[in-house]
């Protein structure tokens, strides 16, 4: 088969590359809408709630106290409207802010009870911004209305996850699992498609010198991603947890709020465990692979050498295997999917003897009747050498190294 005329084993989906960018634009709109709503609706209120923790207290007189109803085509919402007068540094001011958030929501009875605690003419405590005495609040904690901030967070996670996923930030999964022997289905059948697309593949005349392979993913990159996601999630949830335990709640501990926050706190703890797992994985021994020739051909024998940097004595079981899979990417509506099918998997090394783990070599015959490495816009054939090492009571070693196979 001539190198310039090779065709993918699967025909690509009918959508062009513009569809992928269209999906990214869609997810960006999701992310921007969620972030914009979160900031403009809740950002100023959260900032005021945090800043007001240090504002000095003053005695105020209630001028009016009522519940206002707001009518719209989506239904009725209600808000507490309390105005009061206070003195600060010898001057008199008026304010109508109960807390940092100006927000209306459904549910009238609770707001009626709240307004009833501030009867006209009563003396109450308010908190005054010393830098701008015309700004004051009656309650400087977080109210139930702040829980609505979790709604735009859903849009942020969907949009941000979709954008990052479309660029392959979360890595490329592998279909199928490690086998105890050799699995080969000859030439792989197509996954899904209707139209053949021309792609890129390795050229037979490429340099055949030995090559040191690079791992497909970075432990540091995974750690950075886990820290960023964990910090964002726990930063938002932590504000509510702080207010739950240390805020100035007028009716004591809020048990319903505690129950509501429980699943979000558990997710946050899981993310912390993810960060810890990523940190511990940094201490793992690092595998290094060298292949000769660097880009073997179908039917050739490749000489694979391995060695570890670090304390390899922590590994109790080492497995190295070669895997080939077909991937076809297509778009359904705004959802970009990738179907994957492993068509060849063979265990090359299976060692439990510590003396043989630190370094070694193995010869592997690349089957001549399979498909070589290939990549086009929608389809690809990927060959990988996968190193897996079991470590007791610690994150395991698991690294994949891309191997270029020529026709």
CATH classification at residue 361 = 2.60.40.1930
Cβ 120 vs Cβ 65: under 8 Å: yes
Which residues lie below 8 Å from residue 250, measured CB to CB, with a gap of 6+?
A: 117, 139
pLDDT, position 268: 86
Claim to verify: residue 132 and residue 181 sit in the same structural domain: no
Claim to verify: residue 128 and residue 177 sit in the same structural domain: no
Q: Does residue 380 fall inside a structural domain?
A: yes
Claim to verify: residue 60 and residue 194 sit in the same structural domain: no
Q: Does residue 203 fall inside a structural domain?
A: yes
Secondary structure (DSSP) of 116-166: HTS-TT-EEEEEE-TTSTT-EES--S--GGGGGGHHHHHHHHHHHHHHHHH
Claim to verify: residue 351 and residue 215 sit in the same structural domain: yes
Q: Which of 121, 139, 157 is the last residue of a domain?
A: 139
Claim to verify: residue 66 and residue 206 sit in the same structural domain: no
pLDDT, position 103: 64
Domain count, the chain: 2
Q: Identify the three-state secondary structure at position 407.
A: coil
Claim to verify: residue 297 and residue 387 sit in the same structural domain: yes
Residues listed for the chain = 407
CA distance 219 to 228: 14
> Is-cis flag, bond preceding 293, omega within 30?
yes
Claim to verify: residue 198 and residue 335 sit in the same structural domain: yes
Q: Does residue 329 fall inside a structural domain?
A: yes
CA distance 116 to 105: 18
pLDDT in tens, the chain (407 residues): 333 343 443 444 444 455 556 666 777 777 787 777 777 777 777 788 788 888 999 999 999 999 888 776 556 777 888 999 999 999 999 998 888 777 666 667 878 888 888 999 999 999 999 999 999 999 887 666 666 666 777 777 777 777 776 665 554 443 333 333 443 444 444 433 333 333 444 444 445 677 888 777 777 778 888 888 888 888 778 777 877 776 655 556 677 777 878 888 888 898 888 888 888 888 888 898 889 888 899 999 989 998 888 888 889 999 999 999 998 887 766 667 778 888 999 899 898 988 888 888 999 899 999 988 988 888 889 898 999 998 888 888 888 898 898 98
CA distance 263 to 224: 24
Beta bridge partners of 83: 64
Q: Which of 139, 159, 190 is the last residue of a domain?
A: 139
Claim to verify: residue 102 and residue 191 sit in the same structural domain: no
Q: Does residue 150 fall inside a structural domain?
A: no
Residue 95: domain span: 56-139
Claim to verify: residue 172 and residue 133 sit in the same structural domain: no
Claim to verify: residue 133 and residue 188 sit in the same structural domain: no
- Is the model's pTM score more than 0.75? no
Structure-block tokens of residue 6: 């090779």
CA distance 120 to 82: 9
Of 19, 9, 8, 22, nearest to 330 (Cα)? 19
Claim to verify: residue 123 and residue 179 sit in the same structural domain: no
Claim to verify: residue 212 and residue 130 sit in the same structural domain: no
């Amino acid at each position: 088969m001539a190198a310039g005329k090779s065709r993918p084993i699967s025909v690509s989906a009918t959508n062009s590359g513009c569809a992928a960018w269209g999906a990214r634009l869609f997810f960006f709109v999701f992310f921007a809408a969620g972030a914009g709503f979160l900031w403009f609706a809740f950002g100023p209120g959260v900032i005021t709630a945090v800043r007001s923790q240090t504002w000095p207290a003053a005695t105020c007189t209630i001028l009016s106290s009522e519940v206002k109803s707001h009518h719209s085509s989506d239904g009725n919402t209600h808000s507490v409207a309390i105005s009061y007068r206070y003195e600060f540094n010898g001057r008199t001011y008026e304010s109508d802010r109960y807390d940092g958030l100006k927000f209306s929501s459904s549910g009238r009875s609770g707001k009626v009870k709240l307004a009833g605690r501030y009867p006209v003419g009563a003396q109450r405590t308010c908190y005054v911004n010393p830098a701008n005495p015309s700004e004051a609040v009656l309650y400087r904690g977080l109210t139930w209305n702040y829980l609505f901030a979790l709604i735009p967070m859903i849009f942020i996670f969907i949009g941000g996850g979709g954008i990052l996923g479309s660029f392959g930030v979360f890595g490329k999964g592998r279909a199928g699992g490690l086998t105890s022997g050799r699995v080969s289905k000859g030439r792989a059948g197509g996954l899904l498609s209707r139209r053949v697309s021309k792609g890129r593949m390795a050229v037979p005349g490429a340099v055949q010198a030995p090559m040191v392979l690079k791992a497909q993913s970075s432990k540091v990159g995974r750690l950075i991603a886990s820290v960023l996601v964990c910090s964002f999630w726990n930063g938002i949830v932590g504000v509510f947890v702080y207010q739950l335990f240390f805020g100035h709640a007028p009716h004591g501990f809020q048990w319903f709020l505690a129950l509501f926050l429980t699943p979000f706190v558990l997710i946050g703890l899981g993310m912390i465990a993810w960060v810890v797992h990523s940190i511990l994985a940094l201490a793992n021994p690092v595998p290094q692979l060298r292949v000769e020739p660097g880009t073997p051909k179908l039917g050739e024998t490749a000489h694979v050498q391995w060695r570890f940097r670090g304390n390899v004595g922590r590994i109790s079981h080492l497995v190295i295997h070669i895997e080939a899979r077909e991937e076809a990417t297509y778009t359904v509506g705004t959802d970009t999917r990738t179907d994957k099918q492993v068509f060849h998997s063979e265990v090359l090394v299976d060692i439990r003897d510590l003396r043989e783990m630190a370094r070694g070599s193995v010869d592997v015959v690349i089957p001549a009747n399979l498909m070589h490495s290939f990549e086009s816009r929608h389809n690809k054939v990927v060959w990988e050498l996968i190193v897996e090492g079991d470590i007791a009571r610690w994150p395991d070693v698991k690294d994949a190294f891309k191997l270029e196979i020529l026709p």
